[in-house]
Amino acid sequence: MTAIDPNPQKSKLSRRDFLKLGATAAAAGAGLSLLRPTHKPLAAQPDPEEATVKTTCALCPSGCGLEVRVVDGKAVKVEGNPLHPLNQGVCCLKGQTSLEVLYSPERLEHPRLQTGKRGSGDWKELSWDEALGLVANRLVSLREAGKPHSVALMHGDLRGQMRQVVNRFMRAYGSPNVISRDSLGEGAARLALWLSQGVNALPVYDLNNSNYVLAFGGNLLESSRNLIGYLGAAAFMRRGRPQRGKLVAIHPRLSLTGIKADEWLPIRPGTYGALALGMANVIVNSKLYDEDFVRDFTFGFEDFEDAAGVTHQGFKSLVLETYTLERVAAVTGVSTDKIARIAGEFATNRPAVAVLPTEPGELSSGNALYTALAVHALNALVGSIDAKGGVLLQRFPKLAEWPAYALDETARRGETKERLDGAGTQFPLALSAYQNVPERILAGQPYPLEMLILLNANPAYEMPNGGRTLDALSKVPFVVSFASTLDESAAQADLVLPASTFLEIWGDDYLEGTGYAGVSLRRPVVEAVHDTRNPGDVLLDLAHRIGDPVKQALPWPTYQELITNRLSVFDWEKLEANGNWSELVYFNAAPGSPAWQEVVGRDRLNAPKDGRFDFFSRERFALPGSDSAPSAMLRASSACLPHFDIPATLTDSSADALDYPFLLVTQPLITQSSQWQGIVPTLQECYGLQGNVKWDSWVEIGRKAAEALGLENGQRVWVESPLGRVQAMVRVYAGLWPNAVFLPPGQGHHTFVRWGRKSAEAMLVGANPNALTEITSEPLTGLAVSGPARVRVYPV
């Protein structure tokens, strides 16, 4: 190895020339410089052991392929895996900084038991055997007492086989309570796809082939699922092909997506649905829609009569009658000519696609489902359902069979119990209602909870609800967290079973976001840095300790064996060599083709699987009625069509409006890592790009509003809602809806490590905007309603 040569050959030579020619005195002086070493000799290094290990990222839902350079057993650099179809060799900043997660001094090193009162911080470290014994004993005794359903597992992002592992574990154990965080974010998109397209899945957008992209929400190029794929595709759309596509970003704030889009369309927060329906009005009115597609492959465009002889309004007359341009302009704050122009461009520059936001906070205005339906309806209008350049559907590969297992009596009884979060009962359309858990625990409904397991979940941070979540946690007799760091919820747990990071574990990921079927292999890059374990291994261990039927459902001793078994259908050598396996056969189906049945109507339960996209949701219409209040309105025909209700917080005449004049907008940033935000220094130092904010939160406010309040850039202010207040730094920002303020999510975590010389240890980095928002649930769907909250801003 050679060091940097500070005296390049050329300049040495010319210096010698100079010496030859120059005065002897000069030679004497310059000679000095030759005598002194120009750099300290580097310590001789023995040839280090070096390897490049392919694995799969888990820092965001995308799951890109990574190549990690490992030198002497230490991971030293992360690159993208060039053979991975999702990221094709590139790597985002979160992936790059994943080593700061791996080696974070904030990580918990051993299992620990809170011996004092919960939240007291009196911890005792345990061995894994002790800790798992503790959990298993509890699980077994609850099961023996016939109360397995009183155990609930709340989870965030789960990868690959983990979803099934968790489901099998809980089902065999006898609890219906696997509660996913989906209801905070992508649940709305998923539900909209199911009710309209009949597929319970997330949409995939084929930006590579699209000519016109309408991005609702600010996160398409910043925090969407399959972000890296979309960034590459957006670049390709612009510069990789003969015809340049247009990208329009619709968001109250000028996000990175807005800045980089061809056009930014500022809109009043919470009114995407109205805008989408207004655009539909233009498209229908001007007959710019894909008439063939709408006629042959959709349902409910025209008014129709149902089997009972009742006439129902169709989408066409709904948008023409109700969503006139003037009305939509008044609601959204977007001028009529702009709406008309964008709608016209969208409909005439096919293939065009309208993109749904999936991140928390984007659709959660209390009308999430109908907003999502309205936006997705635009795709049907232009025939972009499973079309090139439109909305595609994710395919999944067929893996080795799961072992069969038989539920015993306890498990069967447990399965029939009402879910803790009210999904399916309180919220007929919900698959989960994460945010409803604390309320139900506090109310003791439907039964007292005995044990709560948190897996990639931090409800105390995600929905503090004025401290009620903490109250709920403390009401549960036993809380187990798989947290890797002492996050807000883990701090309230009895037992923390520290999870290994994704760089230390076996696992897999589906190639979600690409559309086609495939898996990506995750494998340990380095030995576990601390005494931590893969939560998958922990669940398998617990299954063995509990015994049948859980053990029967999950018979593998280690998660590695589970993965190798499930993926054994592939050529393992190739899988290891490439880091992934994919099947590039499916791209999009022709409407009406046999493959079409896979993408329209596949998952319908009550509506006909006739290959038609529902403007009028027949699934929704057919929802079994009950006597509960929401179901009465379920059958109302307007409830089956996309429509728009003004969220309560938006009515400026509300009592709060005078006291709290601003609407709080949040939107996930690309520099934000949902799980690790507090502890990754480099993400903190890239945090607020537009305002150049690092290690802090800022509140963006329009210039006029700032002037009216006498606020200046850099000033510290309180942002206060009826629920609480947080401190942040002012950034006057022109790219913001006039009466909105923006707080970035993701901050407000504690770090317990000194970063840099003068920073305090145990500091709170920024502020958590969730603390300002009362998070409730939509009555029908169980989706979270979180905003826009009303706030006021005043100097500290």
Partner 1 sequence: MEPKNPFTKAILAPVRKISTGDTLLWGTLLVLLLAGGAAWTWQYIEGLGITGMNRPVYWGVYITNFVFFIGLAHSGTFISAILRIAGQSWRAPLTRAAEAITLFSLPFGAGSIIIDMGHPERIFNLLFYGRYQSPILWDVTAVSLYMLSSIVFFYLSLIPDIALCRDRLTGAPRWQHRMYEVLALGWNHSPEQYRRLEKALDGMAVFMTMLVVTVHTVVSWLFGMTVQPGWHTALIGPFFLLGAILSGTAAVVIVLALLRKAYRLEKVLHLGLFNSLRKLLITFVLGWLYMMIAEHLTIGYSSMTEEMVVLTDKFSGAYAAVFWSMAALVFGVPLLVFLFKGKNNIGWMVFACVLINIGMWMERYIVIIPTEASPRLLTVMGQGSYLPALPEILITVACFAGMALLYAVFTRFFPIVPIWETAQELPGHAHAAETSPTGD
Partner 2 sequence: MPRWGMVIDLDKCFACQSCTAACRMENNTPPAGKDQAGMGRTILWNEVLPFVEGEYPNVKATLLPRPCMHCDNPACIKVCPVQATYKNEEGLVLVDYNRCIGCRMCTVACPYAVRYFNWYAPEWPEDLKAHLNPEPEVQPRPKGVVEKCTFCVQRLRQARETAEAEGRTFQATDYVPACVQTCTAHARYFGDLDDPDSLVSKLAHSPRAFRMFEELGTQPKVFYLKQG
Partner 3 sequence: MDIGGLIHAFFDNAGPGGVVVLLVVGGACAIYYFLTRWIVTAGKDNKPTPEEGTARVDA
- 26, interface contact from partner 2, partner 1, partner 3, none, CB < 5-8 Å by kind: partner 3
Looking at residues 733 to 792 of the shown chain, list those that interact with partner 1 (rule: CB under 8 A).
757
- 264, interface contact from partner 1, partner 3, partner 2, none, CB < 5-8 Å by kind: partner 2
Nearer to partner 3 by Cβ, of 21 and 308: the residue is 21
Token readout for 130 is: 């002790």
- 764, interface contact from partner 1, partner 3, partner 2, none, CB < 5-8 Å by kind: none
Count CA atoms closer than 13 A to 547's CA, side-chain side. Answer: 6
**CB of 760: closest distance to partner 1 in angstroms?**
16
Question: Contact region for partner 2 (CB under 8 A) — 278-286, 290-298, 598-606, 730-738?
Answer: 730-738
Question: Angle of helix 272-285 relative to helix 368-381, nearest 10 degrees?
Answer: 30
**CB of 707: closest distance to partner 1 in angstroms?**
17
- CA 260 to mean position of chain CA atoms: 21
DSSP-derived 3-state class of residue 589:
coil
Q: Residues near 595 by Cβ (< 8 Å), separated by ≥ 6?
A: 586, 589
Q: Which amino acid would we find at residue 380?
A: A
* Interface mask toward partner 2 for 48-87; x: CB under 8 A: x----------------------xx-xxxxxxx------x
Instruction: Please tell me the distance from the alpha carbon of residue 17 to that of residue 445, in angstroms, as a whole number.
Output: 90
Nearer to partner 2 by Cβ, of 87 and 481: the residue is 87
Return the bridge partners of 731, or none. 700
Looking at residues 338 to 397 of the shown chain, list those that interact with partner 3 (rule: CB under 8 A).
none
Instruction: Please tell me the distance from the alpha carbon of residue 779 to that of residue 79, in angstroms, as a whole number.
Output: 45
Nearer to partner 2 by Cβ, of 529 and 657: the residue is 529
C-alpha closest to that of 522 among 536, 539, 540, 509: 509
Token readout for 511 is: 């190639």
- Does the protein bind partner 2 through residue 690 (CB under 8 A)? yes
Instruction: Please tell me the distance from the alpha carbon of residue 267 to that of residue 331, in angstroms, as a whole number.
Output: 9
DSSP state for residue 269 in the 8-state scheme: T
Instruction: Please tell me the distance from the alpha carbon of residue 398 to that of residue 325, in angstroms, as a whole number.
Output: 48
DSSP state for residue 500 in the 8-state scheme: P
**CB of 590: closest distance to partner 1 in angstroms?**
50
What is the size of the binding site for partner 2 (CB under 8 A)? 93
- Does the protein bind partner 2 through residue 260 (CB under 8 A)? yes
Question: Contact region for partner 2 (CB under 8 A) — 18-26, 110-118, 454-462, 687-695?
Answer: 687-695
Backbone angles phi, psi at 710, to 5 degrees: 70, 35
Question: Contact region for partner 2 (CB under 8 A) — 38-46, 156-164, 493-501, 505-513?
Answer: 38-46
Return the bridge partners of 592, or none. none
**CB of 17: closest distance to partner 3 in angstroms?**
6
Question: Contact region for partner 2 (CB under 8 A) — 228-236, 359-367, 407-415, 467-475?
Answer: 228-236
- 14, interface contact from partner 1, partner 2, partner 3, none, CB < 5-8 Å by kind: partner 3
Nearer to partner 1 by Cβ, of 32 and 760: the residue is 32
Looking at residues 298 to 337 of the shown chain, list those that interact with partner 2 (rule: CB under 8 A).
none
Instruction: Please tell me the distance from the alpha carbon of residue 451 to that of residue 476, in angstroms, as a whole number.
Output: 6
- 713, interface contact from partner 2, partner 3, partner 1, none, CB < 5-8 Å by kind: partner 1
Instruction: Please tell me the distance from the alpha carbon of residue 524 to that of residue 356, in angstroms, as a whole number.
Output: 35
Nearer to partner 3 by Cβ, of 18 and 794: the residue is 18
What is the size of the binding site for partner 1 (CB under 8 A)? 9
- Number of neighbours of residue 405 by Cβ within 10 angstroms: 18
Looking at residues 676 to 695 of the shown chain, list those that interact with partner 1 (rule: CB under 8 A).
691-692
Instruction: Enumerate the H helices of 89-180 as residue ranges.
Output: 93-96, 98-102, 128-144, 162-173
With 0-12 / 13-18 / 19 or more C-beta atoms within 10 angstroms meaning exposed / middle / buried, residue 89 is middle
Buried (b) or exposed (e) across 20-56, using 16+ Cβ within 10 A?
A: eeeeeeeeeeeeeeeeeeeeeeeeeeeeeeeeebbbb
Question: Contact region for partner 2 (CB under 8 A) — 88-96, 272-280, 538-546, 643-651?
Answer: 88-96
Token readout for 437 is: 């858990």
Q: Which amino acid would we find at residue 647?
A: P
Nearer to partner 1 by Cβ, of 41 and 756: the residue is 756
Nearer to partner 3 by Cβ, of 10 and 117: the residue is 10
Looking at residues 12 to 71 of the shown chain, list those that interact with partner 1 (rule: CB under 8 A).
29, 32-33, 36
Q: What is the CA radius of gyration of the chain?
A: 28
H helices then E strands: how many in the chain?
29, 33
- 21, interface contact from partner 2, partner 3, partner 1, none, CB < 5-8 Å by kind: partner 3
Looking at residues 744 to 783 of the shown chain, list those that interact with partner 2 (rule: CB under 8 A).
753-760, 763, 765
- Name the strand (E) or helix (H) holding 52: strand 50-56
> DSSP characters for 641-687?
S------GGG-TTSHHHHH--EEEE----TT--TTTGGG-HHHHHTS
**CB of 642: closest distance to partner 2 in angstroms?**
27
Looking at residues 14 to 33 of the shown chain, list those that interact with partner 3 (rule: CB under 8 A).
14-15, 17-18, 21-22, 25-26, 28-30, 32-33
Nearer to partner 2 by Cβ, of 78 and 319: the residue is 78
Nearer to partner 1 by Cβ, of 45 and 692: the residue is 692
Token readout for 662 is: 């601003």
Backbone angles phi, psi at 236, to 5 degrees: -65, -40
Nearer to partner 3 by Cβ, of 1 and 21: the residue is 21
- 2, interface contact from partner 3, partner 1, partner 2, none, CB < 5-8 Å by kind: partner 2
Instruction: Please tell me the distance from the alpha carbon of residue 448 to that of residue 437, in angstroms, as a whole number.
Output: 12
- Number of neighbours of residue 695 by Cβ within 10 angstroms: 17
- 25, interface contact from partner 1, partner 3, partner 2, none, CB < 5-8 Å by kind: partner 3
- 622, interface contact from partner 1, partner 3, partner 2, none, CB < 5-8 Å by kind: none
Q: Which amino acid would we find at residue 674?
A: S
- 361, interface contact from partner 3, partner 1, partner 2, none, CB < 5-8 Å by kind: none
- 404, interface contact from partner 2, partner 3, partner 1, none, CB < 5-8 Å by kind: none
Token readout for 208 is: 């590579």
Instruction: Please tell me the distance from the alpha carbon of residue 647 to that of residue 633, in angstroms, as a whole number.
Output: 18
* Interface mask toward partner 3 for 34-63; x: CB under 8 A: x-----------------------------
Nearer to partner 3 by Cβ, of 19 and 90: the residue is 19
**What are the E-state strand segments in 397-499?**
451-455, 478-481, 495-496
- CA 224 to mean position of chain CA atoms: 7
Q: Which residues are at the interface with partner 3 (CB under 8 A)? A: 7, 11, 14-15, 17-18, 21-22, 25-26, 28-30, 32-34
Q: Which residues are at the interface with partner 1 (CB under 8 A)? A: 29, 32-33, 36, 691-692, 713-714, 757
